Amino acid sequence: MSVHRPSFSVDAGVEVPVPAAGEVWTVGAVILDRDGAAFAQKRSAERRLFPDTWDVVGGHVEAGETVLEALAREVEEETGWRLRRVRRFLGTTTWTGDDGGGLRHEADYLVEVDGDLDDPALEWTKHSAYGWFGRDDLVLLKENRRPGEFLVHDLIARAVEVLPGED
């Protein structure tokens, strides 16, 4: 029986949480282009969880998967790109969605990918748009969110190294 080994590198010191039994975990990937802008995709208006809002690439960790295996799978499923390098752990957030799915823990990472950054293969049934967001564009990530719901904005701001309040 062959074991599939992930083909990406992980920088030294990158934290990788290990979910405890019964916990629901998600992962998020902040992908930067050569100019330092971050990739985000807009969830379609029909989505039950966070409809019509900007989001990073990511999703749920499935049974039997590690956090980083889920990260690689989600990057490929949602963009067609392949995870090449996990550069930095951006932190863990705990949140509850409005979908009845309960408490979730999210591990977010700054990553590098292989693929044509100008042509992501989005899941158009789940997303309606995509964009690259630099320092001057971050306020757009607050669209259709209420104060206190700026997880994606704050995450991308950290990844592009913008201090809170500078956008």
For the chain, list the domains and their CATH numbers: 24-159 (3.90.79.10)
Between CA 137 and CA 115 the distance in angstroms is 24
| DSSP run (H or E) holding 151 | helix 151-159
Between CA 97 and CA 68 the distance in angstroms is 22
- Whole-model pTM: value is 0.86
pLDDT per residue over 49-71, tens digit each? Answer: 888 889 999 999 999 999 999 99
pLDDT per residue over 67-126, tens digit each? Answer: 999 999 999 999 999 999 999 999 999 888 766 777 899 999 999 999 999 999 998 889
Would you place residue 148 in the very low, low, confident or very high pLDDT band (cuts 50, 70, 90)? low
Q: Euclidean distance between the first and final Cα of the chain, in Å?
A: 52
Report the relative pairing of strands 57-60 and 25-31 from DSSP bridges.
antiparallel
